[in-house]
Amino acid sequence: MAQFVINGGKKLKGEIRVSGAKNAALKAFAAALLTKEPVLIKNVPEVEDVSRMAELIKTLGPKVEHIRRGEYRVTADKLNSSEIEPEIGKKLRASIVLTAPILIRTGKVVFPHPGGCVIGERPIDVFIDGFKALGANVSQENGLYNITARKLKGAKIVFHNVSVTGTETMMMSAVTAEGVTTLKNCACEPEIESLAQFLNSCGADIKGAGTHTIIVSGVKSLGGGTYRTIPDRIEAGTFAILAAATKSNILIKNCEPEHLDSLWNVLRKAGVRLNIGKNQVEVIPSGLKTVNVKTHEYPGFPTDLQSPVCVLLTQAEGQGLVHETIYEGRLLWTEELKRMGANVLMHDPHRISIQGPTKLRSRNIESPDLRAGMAYLIAVLCAKGKSVINNVYQIDRGYEKIEERLRKIGADIKRI
Ligand code: EPZ
């Protein structure tokens, strides 16, 4: 198992480029199975989750060609299996979005409860209710879900919970359903709007993506097309927090600052100076005062940035409250942050207080999941001395060649 060895406590400086968004690219791979024609997917981050998705799709019959770095062609002229390979499906939460094209193309889909990060319960009732509303039959056997439908029929679906992959899956399911589907209480993340634009470019008729109500008028079939992955807002935000926490001057390039307004608010309140341009953000070293942060669905503060921002608060003056509203297990990683010297008080599974500033101590740490792993990386870059992060597969799931990119801005980090 690869490890990162880091010598922290140094200021960083320079430019860092943001990759394409993992959580947008993964959905484009699934959307490519809705058509028999080739789909070219560009600006794809070369991360482990993308490799798992490509592997999974190949087991279903379609061809996935890795044309060059960041570019893939998916040709799903054949889709001859209805089963999401359980071992991969259990590892990858995004595998659940494949249920839509598989059901549409084969009339059936069999899949395990999808996995991903260990951040909470992660139920799938939104999907099950949605498929039933569109006329599918759902059963469960030997730990696998089994959904069948000869032809999905348009319906009104009011999601009982705002779900990103739930909205994406139902939007895809409705694209070729008979009649009109109205989706209410949808998630509004930029990745959803981007997916809808791509589907429309292939012939779908989707209106309202990016708002809470999406209306999909069913079309006969979709053609092929090209999808350009939008910049990863979580990666851009992570780099901005890294710069602020290590008091470094970093220019984050190739990002979409508009997707991160809630983060800019938090950083500015914390005293961080920012120069925000059209596709770039410069973070200028500054003194830090604490802020309260509450995660929320887009356009609120992203849960995926909760762990990095906790590290930032350990470096800020005063006591800040972090309220994680989306996942009940996503603050547990702070136990290890405490062992690094952070002054963290857990009030309940959703709320912690962080008293700063504290000097973090270097440490040998296990990366429990993707975003917490990246937060540890920020923490050890703040801490003077040698630290080791184990299980970096978790970080590789979502951040492309992170050590190489961090080295370019002066970080002392090695993969061994
Ligand atoms: C997506 O997960 C992202 N993953 C997550 O990113 C991200 O943390 C999350 O959205 C929230 O922004 C992908 O896009 C692949 P949800 P998703 O369904 O869609 C509850 C990362 O680090 N819920 O929007 O799985 C659920 O328990 C990952 O890149 C139900 O109750 O998240 C949670 O409390 C981690 N029933 C809330 O909704 C359901 O059927 C939001 O989850 C589905 C969800």
> For 196-252, how does the pLDDT look when each residue is reduced to its tens digit (9 = 90+)?
999 999 999 999 999 999 999 999 999 999 999 999 999 999 999 999 999 999 999
Q: What pLDDT shows up at residue 123?
A: 87
Residue whose CA is closest, atom 35 of ligand 1?
A: 117
The yes-or-no verdict on residue 116 having pLDDT over 90 is no
Rounded-to-integer distance, Cα 411 and Cα 30, Å: 36
**DSSP H stretches of helix in 188-324:** 190-201, 233-245, 261-269, 306-314
Q: What pLDDT shows up at residue 117?
A: 58
What percent of the chain lies above the pLDDT cut of 90? 94
Q: What pLDDT shows up at residue 118?
A: 63
Ligand 1 centroid vs 30 CA: distance in angstroms? 17
At 52, the pLDDT band (50, 70, 90 cuts) reads very high
Ligand 1 centroid vs 321 CA: distance in angstroms? 22
The yes-or-no verdict on residue 278 having pLDDT over 60 is yes
What mean pLDDT, rounded, does the chain reach? Answer: 96
Strand partners, 214: 183
**DSSP H stretches of helix in 190-295:** 190-201, 233-245, 261-269
Ligand 1 centroid vs 52 CA: distance in angstroms? 18
At 380, the pLDDT band (50, 70, 90 cuts) reads very high
Which ligand 1 atom lies nearest to the CA of residue 120? 27
Task: For 297-341, write each residue's pLDDT tens digit.
Answer: 999 999 999 999 999 999 999 999 999 999 989 999 999 999 999
The 3-state DSSP class for residue 89 equals: helix
Task: For 59-86, write each residue's pLDDT tens digit.
Answer: 999 999 999 999 999 999 999 999 999 9
The yes-or-no verdict on residue 120 having pLDDT over 80 is no
Residue whose CA is closest, atom 42 of ligand 1?
A: 163
At 91, the pLDDT band (50, 70, 90 cuts) reads confident
Q: What pLDDT shows up at residue 90?
A: 84
Rounded-to-integer distance, Cα 321 and Cα 35, Å: 47
Which ligand 1 atom lies nearest to the CA of residue 116? 35
The yes-or-no verdict on residue 352 having pLDDT over 80 is yes
At 121, the pLDDT band (50, 70, 90 cuts) reads low
Residue type for position 71? E
* Rounded average pLDDT over 160-183: 98
Neighbours of 75 (CB within 10 A): 17
Q: Phi/psi at 159 (nearest 5 deg)?
A: -65, 135
What percent of the chain lies above the pLDDT cut of 70? 99
Q: Which of 117, 186, 202, 255 is catalytic?
A: 117
The pair of three-digit structure tokens given for residue 375, joined into one six-digit string: 């937060």
Contacts of 274 (CB under 8 A, 6+ apart): 240, 264, 267, 268, 281, 282, 283, 284
**pTM tops 0.85, yes or no:** yes
Residue for token digits 């071992």?
Answer: 87
Ligand 1 centroid vs 123 CA: distance in angstroms? 9
Look at phi and psi of residue 387 and say left if phi exceeds 0, alpha if psi is from -120 to 50, else beta. Answer: beta
The answer to whether residue 117 is catalytic is: yes
Ligand 1 centroid vs 8 CA: distance in angstroms? 32
- Please list every protein residue whose CB sits less than 6 Å from any atom of ligand 1: 23, 26, 93-94, 116-117, 120-127, 161, 163-166, 187, 303-304, 326-327, 370-371, 398
Which ligand 1 atom lies nearest to the CA of residue 327? 34
Residue type for position 187? A
Residue whose CA is closest, atom 10 of ligand 1?
A: 164
